[in-house]
Amino acid sequence: MKRSVLRSAGCLLLLAALVVPLVPVAQAQEGILDTLEGVVFEGDRIPGEAVGPQYGDSYVIGLSLEGVDHPFMQSIIADVTAAAEENGWDLLVTDGGGDPEKQVAGIEDMVAKGIDLLMVQAAKAAPLKPILGEIHEQGIPFMFVGKPIKGTDAFTIVAPDNYYIGQQIGPWIVEQMTAKNGEPKGSIVIIEGIPGDETSMDRIGGAMDVLKDYADIKVVAQQPADYRQPQAVTVVSNILQAHPETIDGIFAANGDMALGAAVAARDAERLGEFWIIGIDCSPEEMSGIRAGDETACWAYKPSGKEASLVVKAYLAGEGSHPVVVSPTYRVDEANVETAKPAWGSVEWNP
């Protein structure tokens, strides 16, 4: 009887031993970067190490913008401010006022006050690179949000890919020309942003690298309008006066300038004669597409929310990817009823 009991007990112990490995193991906790939706990480993740605040109990985050007079920049400020409140950061914001030297002075002021990390929405590259090199040497991490410049020591860039967007626009232009003229030929106008601005150059460069293979698509005029609608009205009005002959399309390097081109075309009684496209997909552009004033836009998210999560992950020691690409999409008459603007309230009602 004893042997039977012992044998039964041994069997139970054996069964218990076999069952143990079948108990579910707790899953690894999801990282902050893992919560980013819709983005593309470029490059391997660079390991990081959590570092505490250097200037008190809270992290001090600097946000440098080329200006604050445009909804694009205002969206970045709103998103980063909300993240600062949620995470208990102290936030310093400077306004470059459209002047690169003023933006540099604002960065210098924040560094003098003491910041743990700097977020930059960049103006022209040349004036900014020296100060960014200096703060890197001081051990202050910095990153770009919404509008980057290349060739710096930024630990990451969080923004849509300007060159990629241009690469999408190039084939679209070829299709439009072929549909209208029976073959890829015709005349287009290009409205640049700020002269020397990398964002504008990449957007236009991406399209032109496609169009260079189509010798009969001619750029009859190319001028800057500083990303602003009033300047674009003046620039396009002058171009239309100088070119009374047929123009097939106007490619503006941002949405405000596309809207300005539409105003100029209407004033010249030429609205509808040619397509007009821009890059942003602001609420105003969406309304323009619904009205038939603008033909299409490509979304360019300010990326303030995405950048704030990247900052949170960096401070927590998760490290970073060299580039975090925010998604883009085209909006035209086919999907304007359901598409959302790149910024503004998600409850926006066209």
- Alpha-carbon torsion 240, 245, 246, 248, what sign? negative
C-alpha to C-alpha distance for 96 and 276, rounded to whole angstroms: 30
Do the bridges between strand 296-299 and strand 330-332 make them parallel or antiparallel, or are there none, so unpaired? antiparallel
Distance CA 125, CA 136 (A): 16
Same domain, 272 and 153: no
**Low-confidence residues in the chain, pLDDT < 50:** 1-28, 345-350
Would 64 be classed as within a structural domain?
yes
Number of domains comprising the chain: 2
Give yes or no: residues 84 and 168 share one domain. Answer: no
Could you tell me the two tokens for 150? 């290349």
- Is the domain of 170 the same as that of 145? no
Residue 38 burial class via C-beta count within 10 angstroms: exposed 0-12, middle 13-18, buried 19 and up? exposed
Shared-domain flag, residues 226 and 137 = no
The pairing of strands 40-42 and 323-325 is antiparallel
**Domain for residue 74, yes or no?**
yes
- The rounded distance, in Å, linking the Cα atoms of 246 and 273 is 8
Residue 95: both structure tokens together: 């306004």
User: Which pTM was predicted?
Assistant: 0.86
101 and 189 co-located in one domain: no
Calpha distance 106→274 (Å, rounded): 42
CATH number of the domain to which 218 belongs = 3.40.50.2300
Is 12 among the domain residues?
Answer: no
Query: Quick one: pLDDT at residue 51?
Result: 87
Residues 189 and 262 occupy one common structural domain: yes
- Among 259, 285, 300, where does a domain finish? 300
Residues 139 and 217 in one domain: no
Residues 123 and 180 in one domain: no
- Domain boundaries, position 288: 162-300
Residue 339 lies in a domain: no
In a shared domain, residues 269 and 308: no
Q: Are 243 and 190 in contact (CB under 8 A)?
A: no
Task: Work out the number of other CB atoms within 10 angstroms of the CB of residue 104.
Answer: 20
Residue 14 falls inside a structural domain: no
CB within 8 A of 110, min separation 6: which ones? 62, 64, 92, 94, 118
Q: What is the pLDDT, as a whole number, of residue 29? A: 57
In a domain? residue 338: no
Instruction: Tell me whether residue 9 is exposed, middle or buried, using C-beta atoms within 10 angstroms of its C-beta: 0 to 12, 13 to 18, 19 or more.
Output: exposed
Q: Is residue 273 part of a domain?
A: yes
Collapsed DSSP state (helix, strand, coil) of residue 268: coil
Residues 293 and 312 in one domain: no
- CA 31 – CA 35 distance, rounded (Å): 7
pLDDT on residue 125: 86
Q: Are residues 197 and 246 in the same domain?
A: yes
pLDDT of residue 347: 36
Residue 26 lies in a domain: no
The verdict on 147 and 272 lying in the same domain is no
